[in-house]
Amino acid sequence: MTYSIDVYNQSGKKTWTHQLHEWIFSDDNINESLMHEYYRYQLHNSRIVRAHTKNRWEVSWSGKKIYSQKWHWTGRAWEKRSPLRKKWGIVFWPRKERNFTLKMPKKARRKAMCGLLTAKVKDNEIVGLESLLFANIKTKDAAVMFNNIWLNWTILLVLDKKDENIIKSVRNIAHVKYTYASHINPTDLLTHRNIICTIDALSAITDHLSS
């Protein structure tokens, strides 16, 4: 099945219908288990391990014997920070050396990304933008543009290159996030209801996934 998306201008008027690449936007690429694996791959590899518990050797404490050597049944007991003693040292608590990274083949990641994009197109959640140009930095102009296209919920704006006027005009809108075609990822696709791609950004995504 061939998929297409509607292309709008900044005024919110539909200009034409853009035919999508058949190799990328195909029902054969939709694999829910593979897409879920790619989502977990991103989350695990971006995880920062903060929980860290000191062991008995990292805690500064006196090495003095607790009791005298003789005349006491616990006389040979050593320091207080031993994990065997109540309310002192702890054992098997989280350490920062834990590794949560996952591995996933490049071809599998590419197919999962194609499946995610295809699923978005099937749900009519991707639209094209003929061109995007702001003469000045003005958040109001960006908000008017989004309202003209009649998009609801959260919006992901995909750009092909960096443009200060666009970035500074969009970044203060609460429900809008911008990204670049080279940085598109499953988390952004799944957490945003609508996706707006400029024609140049769509071409960059197609070239990247086709190579």
Query: Would strands 176-180 and 155-159 be described as parallel, antiparallel, or unpaired?
Result: parallel
How many other CB atoms sit within 10 Å of the CB of residue 43?
13
pLDDT computed for residue 55 by the predictor: 81
pLDDT computed for residue 74 by the predictor: 67
pLDDT computed for residue 76 by the predictor: 67
pLDDT of the chain, 211 residues: tens digit per residue: 788 998 999 888 888 899 998 889 999 999 999 999 999 999 999 999 999 988 878 887 777 777 777 777 766 666 777 777 777 777 888 999 899 999 999 999 999 999 999 999 999 999 999 888 888 999 998 988 888 887 778 999 999 989 899 999 999 898 899 999 999 999 999 999 999 999 999 999 998 888 7
pLDDT computed for residue 77 by the predictor: 66
pLDDT computed for residue 88 by the predictor: 75
- Sequence-distant (≥ 6) Cβ neighbours of residue 43 within 8 angstroms: 187
Q: How far is CA 154 from CA 8, 18, 72, 77, 176, in A?
A: 18, 23, 70, 62, 6
Give the residues across from 178 on adjacent strands. 157
DSSP alpha helix (H) spans, 14-138: 32-45, 106-122
Residue with tokens 């952004």: 188
Q: How far is CA 46 from CA 43, 62, 91, in A?
A: 5, 40, 27
Just give the CATH number of 4-30+105-210. 3.40.1370.10
Sketch the domain layout of the chain as residue ranges.
4-30+105-210, 48-99
